[in-house]
Structure 1
Amino acid sequence: MDFVAVFLVGLLLFPLSAIAQSYQNVSLGSSLTTSDVTTFWPSPSGEFAFGFQRIGNGSGFLLAIWFNKITEKTIVWSANKNSLAPDGSKVQLSTNGRLVLTDPNGRKMWARPRAIAELAYGAMLDNGNFVLATSSSATAWQSFNKPTDTILRGQVLNLDNSLVSSFSDTNSSIGRFKFILQTDGNLVLYKVNYPAVDVTDAYWVTSSVGSGYQVIFNQSGYIFLQAKNGTLLNSIFSNGENPGTQSMYHRAILEYDGVFRHYVYPKTSSGMQMEWSTLYYVPENICLAISQDIGGGACGFNSLCSVVDRRPRCDCPLGYMLNDPNDKLGSCRRNFSEQDCNRESIEVEAFTFQEINNTNWPDSDYESYGGVSEDWCKQNCLSDCFCVVAIYSGNNICWKKRYPLSNGRKDPTVVGKALIKIRKDNSTMGSSTCQKRKKKNQSTLVISGSVLLASSIFMNLIALLYVFKFKGKKPKKIVVVP
């Protein structure tokens, strides 16, 4: 069966499946606390649950929805990504029609929606959607309309809906990437101008301005963009293979590294490995996809992005270290002192190069030379205190780069060799100029101390001689002449 046929069948099944969801009601006044995470509001089948999940080894909790029948308890939605709930917090479906999260002191941390007098109950559905409903079963609020970083089968993203990545695999707060169906109909992956929330350049687009209307994750496991009239515009994952249906759990997530991935997990072992496996992902190579005029790129400043086992990895080059060891995608900084422009000619001998093939920071150029040799390129960079890296390409062109370096990538398709300037003695900031000053100050202190000590000894000797010379002598009598 070709993709279009599967798409049509899936589209027909989609609304029927949504209608067929059974409810397990949560009555008004019901509550959950962080003191007992084994208590939650499950879906009728028990496949999904709503409640508190402890994050990491700390004392913080997410108010979340998760896959409840797998060991990992994988979270698919959360209410308080940027502000973990402390131990002793509570969520309550209030009698005035609001779902409210409060801290141990009763202060409101999160609430949805506005008070609705006719709200009758809440329910965790078997498709992973948590809903608040009226007495007539009309949906007043649903988690599917306010996604975080994940979408599930049966879920739809409407115009202006978005997914925002987490900061890292251990930090659930809002991160650096965004997947959004814009109001103009274009479906776009953006780099976020972190720590602000505005977006910068797009690195993946469907080019569907004026026509995109909904992103649908149908029951057959396909994710696609469609127009308002139902026309298929774009298959997000386009190889057309059958992703599997009822025998697998499905989720699609914009991960902290900026890649949008479709995962599956077997519901029963049947000889299959019980873990989440990647079915599809976009973009194929985020290291090459992101190329901003400003900003660090897929990784931070001075870092190098490469794809290892189909995942982007950020590495600091030799002589550099992560500015924040807890931020895998963060910037790198030098761990040696920069070249002294006041002593430029003298410092030439203090530096050498680390050479890395198929590597470049394409947006940090400030000067280039054609028709030169690699040795000439090296010597020119050594003699220039502003040059931190030179890129030498096979067509005899030398590109000089300034600090900080941006959009670093290492890939077989990248043409050129990176010549990274580092100190020969691999000295760090603390053992270079500042260290020399420290040693000089220490030497001055030693000399001053020695002089003072010698002076003290000399004065003590004079005092002793004086004592020995005059101590044994009797005083002369004074004769008074009348």
Structure 2
Amino acid sequence: MLCCYSATTQPFPTANTSTAWTINGSIADFEIFSNVTTNTRVKFILHRKTNESRFACGFYCKGACTSYLFGIFILPSGLYANFPQAPEVVWSANRDHVVAHNATLNFTASGELVLQDADGSPVWTSNTTGKSVVGMNLTDHGNLILFDVNNMVVWQSFDHPTDCLLLGQKLFQGQKLIPSVSETNWTAQEGLFSLQVTDKGLIAYVDSNPPQVYYSKLVPVKNTSQGKSYARFLNGSLSLFLHSAEPSHPVDVISMPQASSQFIKLMSDGHLKLFEFQGDWTVVADLLTSNLGECGYHMACGRNVVCSSNQQCSCPVSTSSRIDYFRALNYREPSMGCSEITPLTCNATHDQAFIAIHNVSYFTFGEEMEDYRDMKNVNLKACKKACMDRCSCKVALFRYGSDSLSGTCYLPSDIFTITAIDERVWFEFATAFIKVRNVKSPSLHASQRHDRSLVAAIAGSAIGSSVLLLILIVGFLMFIKKRNVELEEEYIDQVQGMPTRFSYEELKTATNNFSKKLGQGGFGAVFEGTLTGGSKIAVKCLEGFSQVNKSFLAEVESIGSVHHVNLVRLRGFFM
């Protein structure tokens, strides 16, 4: 039996066994949704419409429509019910194996739902043969159910989530949301992102080897409930039931706007977004952003990238040489990431080195991520050696607090987005030592010798005529330097509210000749000290500054005027 109808007809939410639906390719067999960007066709099999929501299941295709999904879609409802907006797929049976024209969905006499491709090969089945299934129903909440003679649920789509959650749906421990590759490629994106519930909480993983956590909402109590832990999409929240089952209150929630026509979707970039129909399907909440920030997602800027404020993406660079180890995949779109110019190989360790990126954070940092630390209570040297000795290690991330000899070492096998941080408002030190490979060109040394000979010849002919000019330049620069120092001293004396200006001898005495080093940041070392009155201080010695200028003094004045419970106060400076 072939059953098909237009979406403009009355809803038909149920079907009996011994029924079949075939994709015959006839345009009259489909409801067409077209706009300037997409052409979507839907063949409705079941259709459920209420005042709050509107769902359908059937065959779905886009564009040229040479391949089809069997799935469940959500459509505009209420005031928007007549909008020509394409439905959104919220569940599919065959996203990893799309079917062609003349594919068939069979609801067999034995109570099994079977999707067959055009050649008759089975693509998907509900595996419900012999379980007394007598009918199929699409509920008000978009749940496709196979039920028995007692009207009991035998199989339901809510138990097999793909990349979306609908209102009322649960994500149980052991299940995963896995995004599709893209909006046009429905294949499950295995090996990159997943969202799942564990006995610790709700966790979003980067499915690298081993998996890395990029988001977690953890509950620090052991599971005491009888059943599985789960998260449930309720109107206004994604609620966690880890240690108790409903009707008890959830142990934690992720709050969100309330509406009757919504769905949650794990996107191909790892974001978990809440969609609502407002004339079109609109993102009304990005549910993980508040915890992670602009650079917090591991793919915020792609792979092998440093992300700074306002999501500025750049490839890692070496500060000690002019060698480029990474290049942007697309210079016009830096957020797409960078690639190694010379890939690492396990049999070329003698050519490998590290480039250091100071003052960083990484998405696996945090006390709740302690299971993902490779080494604890180690020094920097041991961390770098461990990465160099481990073929799979791409970066040694060394993180420590007050004692640089006892830090935490992370040795990931993939470099995702590394976040650059402001060391002035961060209470821990972390450096990324990215493993790179130096490749020497066979003609390099010969070229260098030729260059040196050429430079020597040019220099020899020019030295005699340049001596007098050099003497004049040096004399002029010494005069300018002396005058600049005098002007800087005058500037300091004129600034109101400047923090205390210490002498070098005072700081040398306070730090016991700079003997106790607390750590090393991107601009210099930090030492512990005690002032005459007994106050504990930390003294940072800036490196790489040939002279003090007004911008530095203005910064000292600005920081010295800041007072906050979570910030260490600036006591003074020396120059």
Which category of TM-score, normalised to the shorter sequence, fits these structures? 0.5 to 0.7
Alpha-carbon distance between aligned partners in 2 of 1:297 and 1:276, rounded to the nearest angstrom: 19
1:38 to 2:42 alignment? yes
State the structure with bigger RCO (CA 8 A, min sep 6), 1 or 2: 1
- Give me the whole-angstrom Cα distance separating, in 1, the residues matched to 2:118 and 2:135: 25
Report what 1:221 is aligned to. 236
- Residue pairs, 1:205-284, within 5 angstroms: 205-211=218-224, 213-218=229-234, 220-226=235-241, 227-228=244-245, 230-238=247-255, 243-246=257-260, 249-266=261-278, 269=279, 275-278=282-285, 280-281=287-288, 284=291
2:13 counterpart letter in structure 1: Q
Letter matched to residue 51 of structure 1: G
Tell me the amino acid that sits aligned with residue 16 of structure 2: S
The 3 A distance-change label for structure 1 pair 286 and 32 is farther
CA 1:392/1:48 → structure 2, altered by over 3 Å: closer, same or farther? closer
Partner of 1:174: 189
Does 2:51 correspond to 1:62? no
What is the aligned partner in structure 2 of residue 380 from structure 1? Answer: none
Spell out the pairing of 1:75-86 with structure 2 (5 A cutoff). 75-86=89-100
With the length of structure 2 as denominator, give the TM-score of the two structures. Answer: 0.49
**Residue 121 of structure 1 pairs with residue 140 of structure 2:** no
Percent of aligned pairs with the same amino acid: 19
1:302 aligns with 2:300: no
**What is the Cα deviation at residue 391 of structure 1?**
10
| Cα drift, residue 56 of structure 1 | 6.9
Query: 2:415 corresponds to which letter in structure 1?
Result: S
Computing the radius of gyration from Cα coordinates, the structure with the larger value is 1
Unaligned 5+ runs, structure 1: 1-21, 291-295, 370-385, 437-482
2:13 corresponds in structure 1 to 24
Aligned residues of 1:43 and 1:126 also touching (Cα < 8 A): no
Supply the distance in 2 between the matched residues of 1:100 and 1:254 (Cα, whole angstroms).
27
Aligned-partner Cα distance in 1 for 2:129–2:307: 48
State the 1:257 CA deviation.
Answer: 2.8
Q: Secondary structure at the match of 1:44?
A: strand
- What letter is aligned with 2:272? F
Give the Å deviation of 1:76.
0.9
Aligned AA (2:189): I
Superposed counterparts of 1:344-363, under 5 Å:
none
Q: Is the 8 A contact 2:308 2:421 kept in 1?
A: no
Amino acid corresponding to residue 134 of structure 2 in structure 1: A
Of 78, 90, 103, 1:89 maps to: 103
* Distance in 1 (alpha carbons) for counterparts of 2:342 and 2:411: 16
CA root-mean-square deviation: 5.3
- Which residues of 2 match residues 89-108 of structure 1 at below 5 A? 89-108=103-122
Q: Deviations over 1:161-194 (max 9, x none)?
A: 4322334454331332232233xx4333142535
Question: Closer, same or farther in 2 for the Cα pair 1:34/1:167, shift >3 Å?
Answer: farther
**Which residue in the other structure is 1:149 paired with?**
163
* Alpha carbons 1:78, 1:148 under 8 Å: kept: yes
Q: Deviations over 1:411-469 (max 9, x none)?
A: 4457679898999xxxx99xx84999xxxxxxxxxxxxxxxxxxxxxxxxxxxxxxxxx
Does the 8 A contact of 2:15 with 2:46 survive in 1?
A: no
| 1:143, distance to aligned residue in structure 2 (A) | 0.7
Kept in 2: contact 1:364–1:405 (CA 8 A) = no
Q: 1:281 to 1:355 in 2, by over 3 A?
A: closer
Q: Provide the secondary structure at the position in 2 that maps to 1:127.
A: coil
Give me the whole-angstrom Cα distance separating, in 1, the residues matched to 2:142 and 2:112: 20
Note the alpha carbon deviations across 1:36-63, whole angstroms, 9 max, x for none: 5432124331821212223677843322
Deviation at 1:109, TM superposition (A): 0.9
Query: Is 2:178–2:188's contact at 8 Å kept on the other side of the alignment?
Result: no
1:202 deviation in Å?
7.2
| Counterpart Cα distance in 2 of 1:72 and 1:150 | 17
Deviation at 1:112, TM superposition (A): 0.2
Cα distance in 2 for partners of 1:23, 1:215 equals 31
Does the alignment pair 1:189 with 2:184?
A: no
Gap change, CA 1:391 and 1:163, over 3 Å in 2: closer
TM-score, structure 1 as length reference: 0.57
Distance 1:421 1:158, change over 3 A: closer
Tell me by how many angstroms 1:80 deviates: 1.9
The one-letter code of the counterpart of 1:33 is: I
State the 1:107 CA deviation: 0.5
CA drift of 1:111 comes to 0.3
Separation of aligned partners in 2, 1:144 and 1:167? 22
- Structure 2 unpaired stretches of 5+: 1-10, 31-40, 77-82, 318-324, 366-372, 382-392, 424-428, 445-575
CA change 1:143–1:360 in 2 (3 A) is closer
- Contact in 1 for aligned 2:101/2:118 (Cα 8 Å): yes
Instruction: Judge which range, 70-79 or 202-211, deviates more.
Output: 202-211
Give the superposition deviation at 1:142: 1.0
Contact 2:398–2:432, Cα closer than 8 Å, also in 1: yes
Indicate how the Cα distance of structure 1 residues 121 and 210 shifts in structure 2: closer, same or farther if over 3 A, else same.
same
- The 2-side partners of 1:421 and 1:124 are apart by 54
Aligned residues of 1:356 and 1:418 also touching (Cα < 8 A): yes
The Cα offsets for residues 262-308 of structure 1, whole Å up to 9 and x where unpaired, read as 33333xx5xxx763322643662178768xxxxx8887752445786
Say whether the 8 Å CA contact 1:358–1:417 is kept in structure 2: yes
Q: What code does the residue aligned with 2:245 have?
A: K
Q: Is the 8 A contact 1:264 1:279 kept in 2?
A: no
Q: How far did residue 100 of structure 1 move?
A: 1.0
Going from structure 1 to structure 2, the CA distance change for 1:314 and 1:207 (only over 3 Å counts) comes to farther
Q: Displacement of 1:126 after TM fit?
A: 2.6
Check whether the contact 2:360–2:431 (CA below 8 A) recurs between aligned residues. Answer: yes
Q: What is aligned with 1:376?
A: none
- Tell me: CA distance 1:159–1:280, structure 2 relative to 1, closer, same or farther (3 Å): closer
Find the residue that maps to 2:288 and give its secondary structure.
strand
- 1: CA distance, partners of 2:165 / 2:146: 19
Residue pair 2:196, 2:202 contacting (<8 A) in 1 also = yes
For 1:224, the aligned partner's letter is S
Q: Is the 8 A contact 1:258 1:286 kept in 2?
A: no
Indicate if the aligned counterparts of 1:250 and 1:265 stay in contact, CA closer than 8 A. Answer: yes
SS in 1 for 2:270: coil
What SS does structure 2 have at the residue aligned with 1:101?
strand
Name the SS for the 1:284 alignment partner.
helix
1:53 aligns with 2:53: no
State how far apart, in whole Å, the 2-side matches of 1:406 and 1:206 are: 28
Shift of 1:214: 3.9
CA spacing shift, 1:367–1:99, aligned 2, 3 Å: same
